[in-house]
Amino acid sequence: MAEVLKFDKKPEAPPVLGGYVSTPTAQNILRSLDLVSSQAGGAITLVAAAPGVGKTEALRFFRHKRQNALMFTAVDGEGGTWGVACQLMQLLDLGVPNGRNLMAERQRIGEAIGVDGLVLVDEAQYIARRNTRGADDWSAFDWLRAMSEEGCFSIAFVGDLSLLELADKRPGLWRRAGEGRRLVLRSIERGDVVALAASFGVSDAASVEALYQIARREGGLGYVGTIAKRAR
């Protein structure tokens, strides 16, 4: 980067909670999570976002506010109903799931989460089990949806833009999320870079523009924070 960052004398709003900054995109994500968490009896929200917009930091910040929320990160290669059951039961200290009776395990997990609880699923695209030789398996989404309906708690599926495939793969779940509870974030927004740069004490227009171009080119706000920290 040939440009020189010009720092203000004092940062406008220091980052909190290990990197969270209240960017416009983060505020949109938090509004979606607040909406679904306020629904009595349970609801579903979907957040499909381009890489690097700060969705994980927003989820962690929300989880810090909602102590009764349960958050787990889906892992590539560990999708499917069995993989999700293993992760949830480990988090809830329920032992190892019985693969022969996942219906009973679904009910047990739902009871442990509790009525009006909230499950936050980060990297939710990995819940789907990809099959290079046949159809992908999206049944884990149905399993979680059924669990939320039986247990009367809410779920937030948060992941990359491949979550948009749910509109075709699982139209019932897509409809249940509803227009007001679906959020699609297709790119890095300039306002996010402005807010993040300001938190490090950078407000000079040329510096912010340089950081914005880097974020777009490299694919994420993380690069903005890294560069600002090193420059400072």
| Same structural domain, 113 and 214 | no
* DSSP-derived secondary structure for 18-47: TTB---HHHHHHHHHHHHHHT-TT--EEEE
Give me the number of domains the chain comprises.
2
The reply to whether 96 and 202 lie within a common domain is no
pLDDT band at 214 (very low <50, low <70, confident <90, very high): confident
Residues 181 and 193 in one domain: no
**111 in the same domain as 58:** yes
Name the band, by pLDDT with cuts 50, 70 and 90, for residue 83. Answer: very high
Same domain (yes/no): 131, 153:
yes
Contact residues for 155 (Cβ-Cβ < 8 A; gap 6+): 36, 42, 44, 45, 118, 119, 121, 144, 145, 148
Element containing residue 192 per DSSP (H, E): helix 190-199
117-126, 147-156, 223-232 — which is least confidently predicted?
223-232
Both 171 and 119 in one domain: the answer is yes
Report the pLDDT value the prediction gives residue 224, as an integer from 0 to 100: 82
User: 196 and 138, same structural domain?
Assistant: no
Distance, in Å, from the CA atom of 203 to the CA atom of 153, rounded to the nearest integer, reads 42
To the nearest whole percent, how much of the chain has pLDDT over 90?
57
Indicate whether 153 and 193 sit together in one domain: no
Residue 90 has pLDDT above 60, yes or no: yes
Backbone angles phi, psi at 164, to 5 degrees: -65, -20
Q: Decide which of 146, 166, 185 is a domain's last residue.
A: 185
pLDDT recorded at residue 9: 59
Which residues are registered as beta bridge partners of 167?
none
Q: Are 231 and 152 in a shared domain? A: no
Residue 78: CATH number of its domain: 3.40.50.300
Which pLDDT value is given to residue 167? 92
Tell me the average pLDDT of the chain: 88
Both 14 and 71 in a single domain?
Answer: no
Q: Give the confidence band of 16 by pLDDT, cuts at 50, 70, 90.
A: very low
pTM of the model: 0.88
Place 168 in a pLDDT band, splitting at 50, 70 and 90. very high
Q: Give residue 17's pLDDT.
A: 42
Residue 224 is which amino acid?
V
Residues 55 and 13 occupy one common structural domain: no
10 is in which domain, residue-wise?
A: 1-18+189-232
